[in-house]
Structure 1
Amino acid sequence: MSADLKFWYLRDHKLFRTLSFSQIKQLCIITGYKKAGKGDIIYFSSTDVPRIFFLKKGNIKIVSVDKSGKEMIKDIIQKGDLFGELTLETDSETYEYAQALTDEIIICSFLLSDFENLLLKHPELALSYTKFVGLRMLKWKNNYSNLISKDAKARLLMFIKDWAKKEGRAEGDKVYIENYLTQNDIAQIICTSRQTATQLLNELEEKQFITYTRKQIIINDFTAFEKIAG
């Protein structure tokens, strides 16, 4: 990858906007880059060298695995998001991996040790990073709150509404979402069984709130959908 392309990948990320052009050029020396395709595993937390990752293009799912081997989707990573050892600490008791959901994935990354040194050298960057991670933690806290306070249908409605707002393409009253998730993925995200997720999606289709296919989800009237989603 050319030095110019590396530079603009970093310069374009809001986390590094506090740095000067020359400082960003210096980062290119220690930054790793990777491309991946749908289904590829990006990293395993239990075996790979600890890194901080920045997603430049595509979508990734973070899957946690418990001691019995049961998998659960912890998060969906979108363009501009960070993932990896965000707390700057490694935990041998937890195991997770990242897998590409879309056809073209572009990632830049830093070794955890290099990134820690970077934050020490640039206090303004450390402050931006703290805010960034704080927002991610707040999102996870809200997700947990929803799990214990809402039923599966309410969680599905909220998930689809948030997905539409982040990635949907509006045309009049309709919103089109590129569907890169399987029904099993959706079930894991809202913490229910695949059978229940399928049943709930079918109900939304029968009531004409959505049109669902493997490639696309169409919200037929987003205003009406927001009302039922709360």
Structure 2
Amino acid sequence: MRTTTRLTLPSLAEEKFFLGLDPSISARLDTFAWHRRYDPRQIIYFPDDRCDYVYWVRSGRVKITHVTERHRELTYRHLFKGDLFGEEGLADRSQRKDYAEALTDTVLTLVRYDDFFQVVQEEGTLSLALARHCCRRALDVEKSLSDLLFMEVRQRIACRLLELSGQEAEREDNGPLRLTHQELANLVGATRETVTVTLRALQEEGIVTLGNRHLYLVDPERLAQVAQPL
């Protein structure tokens, strides 16, 4: 259940998006910000919802997913502490195109578009930071498309596992990646059955260890070798 009681969180200044920016910028956004707690598997927004807010992940994990008319699901990205999302509405303030879903207990900071856009217009360094963020997102999409076209499933799985292990900043050293086979399949554009077979093969090779809704990277160096182009 979404919790709407008032939460007290540190300033947005501590999040990576604001690194290098004047603290007065995040302080301005703090005056507009409010916070929500989401349960695991709770939807944050649906396709066709109005684009009203930008979001920062303060804790937990979020996935952004597109579902086709044939009910095929493709996960664009997983988001972790400090990540910004929902900003695409700044270009087209109409409706959401995708699902955003909390994967774990998650706390988000929300800022209304109108408030965020006002600060962006008035603060040049913030607009530059937003442009850099959008460029990185575009490069990530290009890489995902390239991987899908030119890599085998085994390579794509290895790449995604390495990326997720690097992104999940709150994960303890040598701790598990909390990810189902279906979630990984949606990330790499494969079937769950294919992902399961591939992960079992990697386990037999001593590269990963599988658990219930999680896995351990036992040998990241060998996994990186698997991820290399043929």
Task: Give the TM-score taking structure 2 as reference length.
Answer: 0.85
Mapped to 1, the partners of 2:85 and 2:76 lie a distance apart of 11
Corresponding residue of 2:3: none
- Counterpart for residue 29 of structure 1: 31
Q: Does 1:138 align with 2:136?
A: no
Please list every run of 5 or more consecutive structure 1 residues that lacks an aligned counterpart in the other structure: none
Question: Could you tell which deviates more after superposition, 88-97 or 210-219?
Answer: 88-97
The 1-side partners of 2:28 and 2:226 are apart by: 50
Q: Which amino acid aligns with 1:185?
A: E
Please give the secondary structure, in 1, of the residue aligned with 2:69.
coil
CA 1:14/1:218 → structure 2, altered by over 3 Å: closer, same or farther?
closer
Partner-residue secondary structure (3-state), 2:176: strand
Between the aligned partners of 1:169 and 1:42, the Cα distance in structure 2 is: 26
Matched, 1:56 2:54: no
d(CA) in 1 for partners of 2:93 and 2:152? 31
Decide whether aligned partners of structure 1 residues 191 and 93 sit closer, same or farther in structure 2, where only a CA change above 3 A counts: farther
Is the CA contact 1:176–1:216 (under 8 Å) kept in the aligned structure 2? no
User: 2:57 is paired with a residue of what secondary structure?
Assistant: strand
- Work out the number of aligned pairs and report it: 220
Instruction: Give the aligned partner of residue 74 of structure 1.
Output: 76
CA RMSD of aligned residues (A): 2.2
Aligned mates of 2:93, 2:73 — CA distance in 1: 18
Supply the distance in 2 between the matched residues of 1:39 and 1:56 (Cα, whole angstroms).
17
Match of 1:39, SS state, is coil
Aligned partner letter, 2:98? E
Match of 2:22 in 1: 19
CA apart distance, 1:160: 1.2
Query: What CA distance in whole angstroms lies between the structure 1 residues aligned with 2:131 and 2:32?
Result: 21
Find the aligned partners of 1:98 and 1:121 in 2 and give their Cα distance: 29
**Would you say the 8 A contact 1:52–1:85 is kept in 2?**
yes
Q: Which amino acid aligns with 1:226?
A: A
TM-score, normalization by structure 1: 0.85
Q: 2:180 aligns with which of 174, 182, 185?
A: 182
Residues 66, 94 of structure 1: 8 Å contact kept? no
Q: Any runs of at least 4 consecutive aligned residues in structure 1 with deviations exceeding 4 A, and if so which?
A: 91-94
What amino acid is the match of 2:203?
E
* Residues 143/87 of structure 1: CA separation in 2 closer, same or farther (3 Å cut): farther
| Contact 1:164-1:176 at 8 Å conserved across structures | no
Distance in 2, Cα, partners of 1:80 & 1:16 = 9
Give yes or no for contact 1:54–1:108 (8 Å, CA) kept in 2: yes
| Higher fraction of strand | 1
Specify every segment of 5 or more residues in structure 2 that has no aligned partner in the other structure, as ranges. Answer: 1-5
Tell me the SS of whatever aligns to 2:184.
Answer: helix
CA distance in 2, matches of 1:228, 1:75: 21
Report SS of the residue matched to 1:178. Answer: coil
1:166 alignment partner in structure 2? 167
Partner of 1:98: 100
Q: What is aligned with 1:216?
A: 214
